Structure 1
Amino acid sequence: MTMKVLYGASPEDVKGYDTARLRREFLISDLFAADAVNFTYTHVDRLILGGAMPKTRSVFFGSGADIGTSYLLSAREMGIANLGGTGTIAVDGKSFVLENRDVLYVGRGAKEIVVSSESPDKPARFYMNSVPAGADLPHRLVKKADAKALELGDVKRSNRRRLVMYIHPEVIPSCLLLMGITDLAEGSAWNTMPPHVHERRMEAYCYFDMAPQDRIVHVMGEPEETRHLIVANGEAVLSPAWSIHMGAGTGTYAFVWGMTGENQEYNDVTPVALAELK
């Protein structure tokens, strides 16, 4: 298990970043490696992002040595989305089978997590978001069919999309973590459009189901001082509370969104008019 640390940045700092610095601070590109577990700890609301792709053997994690606790989830909750082939997650000996696009909620206090794939030819790709939690809630598997779907956007504006809530008060309880998956409709390119900011929550995006040659142009920054990141399949982007987040793809794609902060009010956002962007 590896744990990289990022310290975040203020909007004033970002104005002076070149492309390489912007990517170092906000883009996570090493999530999925065969038979490994890779985490990134960000001081932006203390979110931990992780990826695991067990291929030839099971891999495990759970130590809290990197964050000063007995276990990784001693004072945290976690959501794990399977973006690959069928896999199994065992939490302190209790096993859950995850098909593609199933999500497992792991409650505070879990000690050891073991992940494995059904087939090495089509390994599971487990994407993880973990945030501090102040309550003990039971582990729970949310199957794709049991999540709550919303149809959003407009084909004429190239932003028709299907947003699916997994870890959300309308589906299952959590302390402060929200997590779901959004797919773009055929012919649409723009996600999260029109853009917005939510001062009381940060967000992370993990883009997936992209062709190797395709890229996302992810727009971030303050509305009047935007920046962009070019994102490949399986890479994730950190979006602080002060930053907009929207993107357009050169081909079909999906993304996992995860949020944490002061509340779980999904509509606690401040819209930003496109005319205000610079």
Structure 2
Amino acid sequence: MTAGDSEVGKLAGKDLHLDKPNPARMYDYVLGGDLNYAMDRQLVDELMTAMPRARDTALLNRYWLRRVVRYGAQQGIRQFLDLGSGMPTVGQVHEIAQEVDPDSRVVYVDNERIAVAHSEIVLEGDDRAEMIGADAERVDEVLGHPTTRRLLDFDQPVMVLMSALVHYFSPEERDAAAMIARYRGALASGSYLALSSFTGDQQDEEMFRAVELSKDTTEPIHLRSRDDVRELMAGFELVDPGVVFTPQWHPDSPGDVGDEPALSGVLAAVGYKP
């Protein structure tokens, strides 16, 4: 990718609210990264006071994502579309997938400028994994992007990843189900959708205080119930064990689940398109 083709430049005209904390940069800070601003760190520090287990929640979701990618690769998936991918971190999707098959191809999608810019640097030299600067909700823009068309063959199975994405969709203003249906319609039989979302199910006051704090960010959190997640997975056959908390989905060992998996605060599911 040349400087003239930079995805960051293509985002220049988009309203990205750079004057507010951003979830992608906040997540980066929670995971120990340095691709964030002082305002992101300040709000995360407040969040950690309100919800001390926030870092564990973020890590458990990241571990779930890695297991999902490994599962998909083991099922023969060699193409991955990671929507709302955020900042590049150790154990990114392409690293996990290419451990199984070096020819695996990954398209990352995000509209946060720092995430896009840093991804271009991290992915330089890997012609099978690229980042595009786009809003995941603009389905035609994502699927029609030259990079998507070059790297992914939608006549063959693809795993679509929506890790910690849909809880930023206000049910009153944004139709997550319609977005997912459009991606589903583009997928070949044998494809997968992996989705995770913050939830209010079985949660204590820590979660609800964190949701209140999120109202000061560019993307406030909207909690999804187990039934909400099932509805979003319509048209896919749920992979066992269905809609569960992140530590419960195909743990590497029984001990990884812990005594209170609900404290992860995030529900997750993987569905197969028949």
Q: Same fold (TM over 0.5)?
A: no
User: Which of 1 and 2 has higher RCO (CA within 8 Å, sep 6+)?
Assistant: 2
Q: State the TM-score, normalized to the length of structure 2.
A: 0.31
Q: State the TM-score, normalized to the length of structure 1.
A: 0.30
Structure whose residues are more often strand by fraction = 1
Structure whose residues are more often helix by fraction = 2
